[in-house]
Structure 1
Amino acid sequence: MPDPRFFQTLSPLTVAALAEHIGEEVARGGEVVISAVAPLSTADRGAIAFLGDRKFASALAETQAGCVIVPSSAVDAAPAGAAVIVSGEAQAAWARASALLHQPIRLDRAASVADAVEDDSVVIEPGVVLGEGVRIGRGTRIGANTVVGPGVQIGRDCLIGSNVSIGFALLGDRVKLLSGARIGEAGFGAAASRAGPVDIPQLGRVILQDGVTVGANSCIDRGAYGDTVIGENTKIDNLVMIGHNCVIGRNNLMAGHAGLAGSVTTGDNCIFGGRAGVGDHITIGEGARVAAGGGVLADIPPGETWSGYPAKPLRQSLREAIWLAKQASQKKGAKES
């Protein structure tokens, strides 16, 4: 279930009513009542999940979901106890169902500073807007014109710069967010449908552990359903992008213009050079390094340094670059002669 501090769960619906609203057909179990959406792996009897790819067939067989949305070819593979909705665009149908069951809590009105702060040591600069349910620990300073969304929890001795936005997030102690940082915006996710791309609701959170620093104008997206987590003492430079559901280890260093796609996992003590990029669902081992400009499209074992595009172990990447330069030089010489 999405965190109730950030998301409102709406009235439950029967499977038949859901199917009617999203324009799909019920194969069985139209009377089953559904109150939430969830992935196949974590859904319970009150939730609806979907099969978007055949590689998750085992998760479909084992799911505890009360209802599943599947293509017609997978109806027989659905668990016997689950209601079934048939759709040729299962992920888009699930996204539409999500919008009927959960909504983000909006910043409809501001809370008073007195209700939000732990004590008088908290400094709130001019123009700050605090949502209802915000809590701010002692010794923290919030910069001018920053917006803190409903339910956000900020620890002690934090330094939040000006023009920062924070939503759907839990911050530990001694966290620093420099000016213009965006924490907790919706991650990028869209599902194909007959009517065009459908936004996939992002129902997770951002968790910044103690001692994290986030540079100016950097963005950290909230999870699609789980959490985006930044480990203790990780330092993130200006203009860095971290996608939804990334789990970053402790003491990582990320230089400017680095970018991590969704669901990247890094170990502790990893380093990313400027403009390094990492593809989605990739694991970076403990102590690994990505050189500036590297484009990572495969898992990196612990302790290794990779460079180039596509990124490879440093020595291999350098050997290939030298070989290519020699080949180019030889061809140029042959043409000139």
Structure 2
Amino acid sequence: MERRAVTQAPATTTPSAGAPADAWSSGEAAALVGAELSGPADLPLTRLDTLDRADRATLAFIRDEKHAQKWASSEAGAAIVTRGVEVPGHDPDRRALLIVDDADHALIRLLERIAPAHVGPPPGVHPQATVDPTATLGEAVRVGAGARVGPGTTIGEGTVLHANCVIGARVTIGRACDVRAGVVIEDRCVLGDAVVIHPNAVIGADGFGYRPAPDGRGLVKIPHAGHVEIGDAVEIGAGAMIDRGKFGATIIGAGAKIDNLVQIAHNCRIGRSCVICGACGIAGSVTIGDGAVLGGGVGVRDNVTIGAGAQVGARSGVMDDIPAGEVWVGYPARPAKETMRIVAATGRLPKILKRLRGLGVDEGLDRD
């Protein structure tokens, strides 16, 4: 990457949070993220976007060599780039690179400053909300139109309940939580501080448990007398479902991030800072260790354990315990290297069959 004209960004005054994008310059953006600036400091920047959708007023993003190859053909005026990534075709007389230790983290810092705040209900309890007289609301709690708060429930200081939330009886919600529109939190569930729940998630519905009726005619529902406990700083995506325990609690550890449309069944124990991507389905009594990551659409059978720091590839089907720190993929899931060997071998089967037939060893082989 061309490194001439690289300077430490001047300590200019950066736009405040929510400032209009047309107030930004390449120098201001560099100062905000602590970047070295390779190029002009006075380029006007009005938007953030990808390299292939950029114009001259765009600040783009280069995290690795693959993205760097697009710089020469992009119209972007400036880009945040990870230090050490070579950027072919950079002309520091015309365009600017903001060189940082980690482009992903720098972009997060920038987005935190410019992303508009989510618009919530006004202070207080909306006239069309219903709060049971025995419920306790902390200071600065906001309750939106159509929301309902059940008897004996406690809502912590600064928490926001958006429109049409339904909070059951004897629920405990901590401080500074953000419960978005249409969320349902059933009876006796417990939320820590700074929990974010996106629209239409359901916390504490009955688990899916049935047994054949003694007379063999139909099914008998298993009551679920437990609850859900959610730790501090957990974020739960839109439409996610977390079922209450049969007895005891379904537990979501502090800092866990759960994507949209995830199903977590009764009595699961999800560790701290786990990442569970969209459309995962986790059956009952599964234990997932701290820091584990499940890719999109993973299915996990009941009563298995996924160890701390393990990673499971998208669309995998987990049928057995996964040791801590291992990477598993496939259906059924196996250690990643084993799965890749199986996939590679499967791809060679047509050639192997052809050779066998050429040797006259074709008895029982499917010719279709």
TM above 0.5: yes
Match in the other structure for 2:266:
244
The one of 151, 174, 196 aligned to 1:155: 174
Contact 1:276 1:293 in 2 (8 A): yes
* 2:163 equivalent to 1:144: yes
* Structure 2: gaps of 5 or more residues: 1-129, 358-365
Give the Cα separation in 2 of the matches to 1:247 and 1:280: 12
TM-superposition CA deviations, 1:25-57 (whole Å, max 9, x none): xxxxxxxxxxxxxxxxxxxxxxxxxxxxxxxxx
Contact 1:145 1:164 in 2 (8 A): yes
1:332 and 1:260, CA in 2 relative to 1: closer, same or farther beyond 3 A? Answer: farther
TM-superposition CA deviations, 1:136-187 (whole Å, max 9, x none): 0011000100100011110000000000000131000000100000000000
Partner-residue secondary structure (3-state), 1:321: helix
1:328 and 1:148, CA in 2 relative to 1: closer, same or farther beyond 3 A? Answer: farther
Which of these two proteins has the greater Rg computed from alpha carbons? 2
Q: CA deviation at 1:112?
A: 3.5
Q: CA deviation at 1:303?
A: 0.3
Match in the other structure for 1:257:
279
Give the Cα separation in 2 of the matches to 1:218 and 1:226: 21
Give the Cα separation in 2 of the matches to 1:313 and 1:201: 37
TM-score, normalised on structure 1? 0.65
Q: CA deviation at 1:330?
A: 3.9
Q: CA deviation at 1:113?
A: 7.0
Contact 1:113 1:130 in 2 (8 A): no
Match in the other structure for 2:149:
130
Match in the other structure for 2:235:
213
Give the Cα separation in 2 of the matches to 1:301 and 1:155: 34
Mapping of 1:23-172 within 5 angstroms?
Answer: 111-112=131-132, 115-119=135-139, 121-168=140-187, 169-172=189-192
Give the Cα separation in 1 of the matches to 2:247 and 2:315: 30
Give the number of the structure with larger relative contact order, counting CA–CA contacts within 8 Å between residues 6 or more apart. Answer: 1
Give the Cα separation in 2 of the matches to 1:249 and 1:116: 30
Give the Cα separation in 2 of the matches to 1:285 and 1:328: 38
The one of 197, 204, 222 aligned to 1:184: 204
Give the Cα separation in 1 of the matches to 2:146 and 2:157: 20
Give the Cα separation in 2 of the matches to 1:322 and 1:253: 29
Contact 2:228 2:249 in 1 (8 A): yes
Partner-residue secondary structure (3-state), 2:350: helix
The one of 173, 196, 220 aligned to 2:193: 173
TM-score, normalised on structure 2? 0.59
Partner-residue secondary structure (3-state), 2:323: coil
Q: CA deviation at 1:116?
A: 2.6
Indicate the RMSD between aligned Cα atoms, in angstroms: 1.9
Match in the other structure for 1:235:
257
Partner-residue secondary structure (3-state), 1:207: strand
Match in the other structure for 1:290:
312
Aligned residues: 227
Give the Cα separation in 1 of the matches to 2:348 and 2:197: 46
Q: CA deviation at 1:264?
A: 0.2
Contact 2:186 2:203 in 1 (8 A): yes
Contact 2:135 2:150 in 1 (8 A): no
Partner-residue secondary structure (3-state), 2:353: helix
Match in the other structure for 1:50:
none
Match in the other structure for 1:315:
337
